[in-house]
Amino acid sequence: MLGQVIASGLAMGCIYALVALGYAYVWNTMAIVNFAAGEFLTFAAYVFVATCTTSLGLPFWQALLLTAAAMAALGALFSRLVFARLQRQRALVAIIATVGFGIFLKEMARIIYGPEPLLYVSPFGDDMLDFGGFRLSVQQLLIMVVVVVIMAAQYFVPRYSMIGKIMRATALDRETAALMGIPVNAVLAGTFAFSAVLAALAGILLAPLFYVTTEMGTLVGLKGFVAMIIGGFGSVPGAIVGGVLLGVIENVGAFTISSTYKDAIAFTILLVFLVVRPEGLIPERSADRA
Amino acid sequence: MTSFLRPVAWLLIATAIVAPIAMGMNTYYLHILNLAWIFAIAALGLSVATGVAGQIVLGQAALVGIGAYATALLMMRLSLPWWLALMLAMMLTGAVGAALGLISTRIKGHYLAIVTLALNEIFRIVAVNEEALTGGPMGLRNIPTLSIPGLGETVTQQLYLPLAGLMFASYALMILFHRSALGRELRAVRDDEMAAEAMGVNSVRAKTIAFMICSLWAALSGGLYVLLVGFVAPTNFTIAESIKMMLMVVLGGLGSVPGTMLGAIVVTILPEALRDLQTYYMAAFGAAVVVIMLLWPKGLGVFADWLWGSFLTGRREPEMPALAGPLSLAAAAAAASSALAAGSAAPDPSGSLMRVRKVSRSFGGVRALNDVSFDVMRGEILGLIGPNGSGKSTMINACSGVVVVDGSIELESHPLQNRPAWEAHAHGVARIFQNVRLWESMTVLENVMVAWRRIPGQPGGEAAIREASLAALEQMGVRHLAMRQAGDLSFGQSRLVEMARAIVGRPKVLLLDEPAAGLRGGLVLELSTILQRLRAQGMTILVVEHRIKLVTSMCDRVVVLNLGDLIADGAPATVMESPAVIEAYLGERAGEASDETRARRIRRRSVDHVAAHG
């Protein structure tokens, strides 16, 4: 039974890892935390289910690509309009502004797509695959495959390549980066678009597991942030490790301690980490110090 | 014009508040207004913690909830009278706030935002699940409400005026707090925490107080809500409510206490006024937050601050005529030199005041200080010189408690090493920073007043602090800037204000990290005269400086650092001729050039250095 609990925790952990990865990339280029990440996830799930699948009738992969492209465009647009201007501000101002933007996005989803929860049936069916000690649904397996693919991409585009350096330089001092010939605005928009795509993937993958509601992303977004703190603020491998670990601990905790307090478990883990190991499991040098 | 407009504006506000009840507005709208007053009180707490003290709290609704549930349970289970229940609930929530404050000394910025959000969510989960205590998702019902017969028929009417009055009284109290000594300390922590600590602000105490104030108002607001409506449920205290309260503070101009009141009223009443547009309302608000943060950061605070006028800012000094030159120290230097001439000569250096023993500090693999030992004699001006990267600033930081070091630093037998910076300040160590660190949103006068330090036998109190601060500004020749905002000053002006801030507490030791940087050539010698005068007043001065001319003319003794090692200690003229010092500066073996050329080259180096870095 515990094997089963760990396996489904692993799937949820992969979702947290996707969101956490988005936080890490935005932090590494803009030095701000996008508190609207959960709402990007929500919005993407709506676009995928309501617009691409139901209205346009696209098959899964086309719908996925179209949603990712739409969210990338949205991410790039808002990075240019809003987030690029926030870097110079105090952390307080940036946090509040991104929270405000999250409300805007969530409400826009409600205005455009209505308040009723949407049901999305996975095209891969809900068969359970037996792995001996535990069983996984096809959807859960898909989630893990997607995250492993992204991790592999991470590995083949090494962290210390030119792209990594450009992102860091942009985060540290945008003006100097521009003077050194870095196309700063393109870097910012690109990073943000990428993090929006990660959130979109998380939303698309979550859609068949839960109903699509305006609230679906809020807690996932917060837990993704918790995952990044556990893994190490701004650390890319940390985000993945932290996300997977959080998913597993949360599920095991819910199973062994109390399922009513499942959501509280993630935040308790956060508090424990902030006291015991505030720099996270895989610390990043340019981290925001607690 | 303004003196006439302000009373008229207040008259209109008073009329607008009394009119609904006097004209018998329907109960529903009165209820909305009552909620606006209650929300304004909750937002007031948030305004102090987030706006004034800069500690981001995204879980204010949970604190309101704790106050509300506690009030309700104390009244229902223990049958306590409402006022006692309310007071106990406030004490309980205040304790929660104090705990949060202690957490906030370890956790800052983004971490604090997520922790407070998380606590809000945990509160909601507990309230929903612990049915035996909280009544679960349905909440607690039939809580006795407060009734004041004689003020109307329904509870809504009866409580309308008392709530409005209480709300105004709360704001008046917090506006007075904002301009009090403690209020200034909170703002200093918000603007620059490290500078605040170095200038004597106990940031742990300041933050804990900020969070306690935040939770006390939250609890009052929650308790009043219970007394007004007679029930509580978890849905009243969700993260969305917390964000709504943050919205009130932001709309009121983050940091403006009076603005928060207007923000709360707008955020509560506008949804009702725009009921037909309800669908778009929250989306518009979300967008509005972003736009306000980016384009109109002062929000409604502009109008609200004007309304409260001098009640908000305190008495203002009459504006002094602007000086003809850009920045002049002539008058201040003349005053200093005549005082020097009139008074006794500088006290002879006698006995050691500060003992630095075997102080070491590494940053990564770099050894910034390596077993450095020297004494600072009472009443001397000691120069601390050395090439770039020799550890001068680290030494200053160690003496003021800003960096942790191995070894010991004692001031008159008080250990200073590895103690909080504010303790060093309390013992009489004041400093300026290499890169000016003023609290930019505060006035110049407030900047100086924060650093005032109580000396036994000297008068205290607001008036005395103000007098002493103005005198310090006068001594540094910048009194005419007293009412300017510190962020508006030029680098040279800021430097002098920072000097005034350092000397206002009559420190025993004054640590100056490149005081002449940013000053024109002529001003440098005048500054030197002013330092002589400070020494005559009983301050001992440790100065890091690059201009050898200034060092030799001003310092009684010089200590030279190179790559973290102390390489010379003695009279300026002797030290300048020391082979080790010459080698450190010029990187060549002594004896290859005549002493005269070497000394000249040192001077030129230092001038080049100033040109490059000053």
Of the candidates A7, A57, A76, A19, the one whose C-alpha atom is nearest the C-alpha of residue A205 is A19
Q: Is A77 on the interface with B (CB under 8 A)?
A: no
Residue A154 in any domain: the answer is yes
CA B97 to the chain's CA centroid: 19
Which of A77, A104, A286 to substitute to test the interface with B, most B CBs within 10 Å?
Answer: A104
With a cut of 70, say whether residue A61 has pLDDT above it: yes
Q: Chain A residue closest to B290 (CA)?
A: A97
User: In the 8-state DSSP scheme, what is residue B428?
Assistant: T
Which of B110, B129, B193 to substitute to test the interface with A, most A CBs within 10 Å?
Answer: B110
Distance from CA of B188 to the nearest CA of A (A): 15
Instruction: Check: CB of residue A24 under 8 Å from CB of residue A83.
Output: no
Q: How far apart are CA B360 and CA B358, in angstroms?
A: 6
Residue A55 in any domain: the answer is yes
Q: How far apart are CA A268 and CA A272, in angstroms?
A: 6
Of A91, A93, A104, the CB nearest to B110: A91
Candidate ranges A119-128, A217-226, B150-159; pick with highest mean pLDDT: A217-226
Q: Chain B residue closest to A100 (CA)?
A: B286
- Residue range of the domain that includes A131: 2-276
Count of CB atoms situated within 10 Å of the CB of A57: 9
Q: Is A257 on the interface with B (CB under 8 A)?
A: no
Sorted by where each starts, the structural domains of chain B and their CATH numbers stand as: 17-236 (no CATH), 330-428+507-572 (3.40.50.300)
Q: How far apart are CA A237 and CA A243, in angstroms?
A: 10
Q: How far apart are CA B146 and CA B159, in angstroms?
A: 8
Of the candidates A187, A169, A190, the one whose C-alpha atom is nearest the C-alpha of residue A179 is A169
Q: Please report the residues numbered 6 through 35 in chain A whose beta carbons come closer than 8 angstroms to any beta carbon of chain B.
A: 33, 35
Residue A286 in any domain: the answer is no
Residue A13 in any domain: the answer is yes
Note whether B286 contacts A103, CB cutoff 8 Å.
yes
Q: Please report the residues numbered 146 through 175 in chain A whose beta carbons come closer than 8 angstroms to any beta carbon of chain B.
A: none
pLDDT category, A290, cuts 50, 70, 90? very low
User: In the 8-state DSSP scheme, what is residue B346?
Assistant: P
Per-residue pLDDT at B611: 46
Q: Is A100 on the interface with B (CB under 8 A)?
A: yes
Residues in chain A closer than 8 A to B121 (CB atoms):
219, 222, 263-264, 267
Distance from CA of A101 to the nearest CA of B (A): 6
* 3-class DSSP state of B567: strand
Distance from CA of B282 to the nearest CA of A (A): 6
Q: Give the total number of structural domains in chain A.
A: 1
Per-residue pLDDT at A174: 78
Note whether B290 contacts A82, CB cutoff 8 Å.
yes
* 3-class DSSP state of A137: strand
Per-residue pLDDT at B597: 56
Note whether A226 contacts B113, CB cutoff 8 Å.
no
Per-residue pLDDT at A176: 85
Angle between helices A216-231 and B109-129 in degrees, nearest 10: 130
Q: Looking at per-residue confidence, does A162 or A62 come out higher?
A: A62
- Helix H, strand E, coil C: the string for B360-426 is EEEECCEEEEEEEEEEEECCCEEEEECCCCCCHHHHHHHHCCCCCCEEEEEECCEECCCCCHHHHHH
Residue A284 in any domain: the answer is no
Q: Which residues contact B444 (CB under 8 A, 6 or more apart)?
A: B473, B478, B481, B482, B483, B484, B485, B486, B489, B497
Q: Is A261 on the interface with B (CB under 8 A)?
A: yes
Instruction: Check: CB of residue A36 under 8 Å from CB of residue A99.
Output: yes
pLDDT category, A272, cuts 50, 70, 90? confident
Q: Looking at per-residue confidence, does B85 or A136 come out higher?
A: B85
With a cut of 60, say whether residue A287 has pLDDT above it: no
As to burial, measured by CB atoms within 10 angstroms (0-12 exposed, 13-18 middle, 19+ buried), residue B273 is exposed
Q: Which residues pair with B352 in a beta bridge?
A: B377
pLDDT category, A159, cuts 50, 70, 90? low
Residue A50 in any domain: the answer is yes
Instruction: Check: CB of residue B197 under 8 Å from CB of residue B426.
Output: no
Per-residue pLDDT at A38: 93
Residue A290 in any domain: the answer is no
Q: What is the CATH number of the domain that holds A38?
A: 1.10.3470
Q: Chain B residue closest to A102 (CA)?
A: B286
Only one residue has tokens 């050539």, namely B521
Which of A35, A95, A219, A220 to substitute to test the interface with B, most B CBs within 10 Å?
Answer: A95
Distance from CA of A85 to the nearest CA of B (A): 7
Instruction: Check: CB of residue B252 under 8 Å from CB of residue B243.
Output: no
Q: Does ipTM top 0.90?
A: no
Distance from CA of A59 to the nearest CA of B (A): 31
Q: Chain B residue closest to A31 (CA)?
A: B110
Residue A288 in any domain: the answer is no
Instruction: Check: CB of residue B526 under 8 Å from CB of residue B333.
Output: yes
Per-residue pLDDT at B343: 64
The parts of chain B modelled with pLDDT lower than 70 are 1-2, 315-328, 342-350, 587-614
Angle between helices B155-179 and B27-46 in degrees, nearest 10: 20
Residues in chain B closer than 8 A to A107 (CB atoms):
280, 282-283, 286
CA distances from B465 to B112, B460, B486 (A): 34, 7, 18
Distance from CA of B486 to the nearest CA of A (A): 17
Distance from CA of A125 to the nearest CA of B (A): 33
Q: Would you list the DSSP string of B437-460?
A: ---TTSBHHHHHHHT----TTS--
Q: Looking at per-residue confidence, does A199 or A287 come out higher?
A: A199
Per-residue pLDDT at B614: 37
Q: How far apart are CA B447 and CA B124, in angstroms?
A: 41
With a cut of 70, say whether residue A164 has pLDDT above it: yes
Count of CB atoms situated within 10 Å of the CB of B276: 8
Q: How far apart are CA B244 and CA B240, in angstroms?
A: 6
* 3-class DSSP state of B570: strand
Note whether B283 contacts A86, CB cutoff 8 Å.
no
